[in-house]
Amino acid sequence: MSPVSPPRVTPDTPLTVIEPSITTTTLPEWLQVLYEIEPVEEKDIKRMTKWAGPHDAIVMREVAYVLAEKWPEYDGKRASIYPTFQNWVNREEKKEKKVDESLFKHRPQFKKTRQKGKIRSSDFEMEAHIQSQGLHPSSPEAGEIRRNWGK
């Protein structure tokens, strides 16, 4: 066997630059799941990862797995899995936001402190105590506990 010599480069030889491409091993898990179902071009991958920036990674991962499982029902009815995924993520985040806001529905003093951006840990302790007593948040007994909390 003889050693292999590198190709001879002359001034007429063009230099080829190979651009690195995004591979599925560098993608976030949620995008890998979707990519296995419907591969897309690199520009679309970049667009999706840019869109994902402000979204909750855990929600996106969970939605991707649920959608991947249910996609056979939607395939053919929808043009692409990606817009459906975006809609489902947005819908799921809205649901979570509504649940978070509902925690403050019956607690006007919570609303005041929340609007200022300050929720005291003692407020959570108080609500946990009310819940551990098996009381409804809007019950008179819960209101009494709130009035006397910290006195």
pLDDT per residue over 11-48, tens digit each? Answer: 665 555 555 555 555 889 999 998 998 888 888 889 99
Split at pLDDT 50, 70, 90, the class of 113 is very low
Question: What does the alpha-carbon distance between residue 52 and residue 57 come to, in Å, rounded to a whole number?
Answer: 8
For residue 64, pLDDT beyond 80:
yes
Burial of 136 (0-12, 13-18, 19+ CB in 10 A): exposed
Q: Could you tell me if 44 and 26 are in contact, meaning their C-beta atoms sit under 8 angstroms apart?
A: no
For residue 6, pLDDT beyond 80:
no
How many helices, marked H, and strands, marked E, lie in the chain? 7, 0
Rounded to 5°, angle at Cα 59 from 58 and 63: 120
90-117 burial string, b = 16+ CB within 10 Å, else e? eebbeeeeeeeeeebebbeebeeebeee
pTM above 0.75, yes or no: no
For residue 119, pLDDT beyond 60:
no
pLDDT of residue 25: 56
Split at pLDDT 50, 70, 90, the class of 115 is very low
pLDDT of residue 32: 92
97 vs 82, more confident = 82
pLDDT of residue 130: 85
pLDDT of residue 26: 81
Please give the mean pLDDT across all residues of the chain.
76
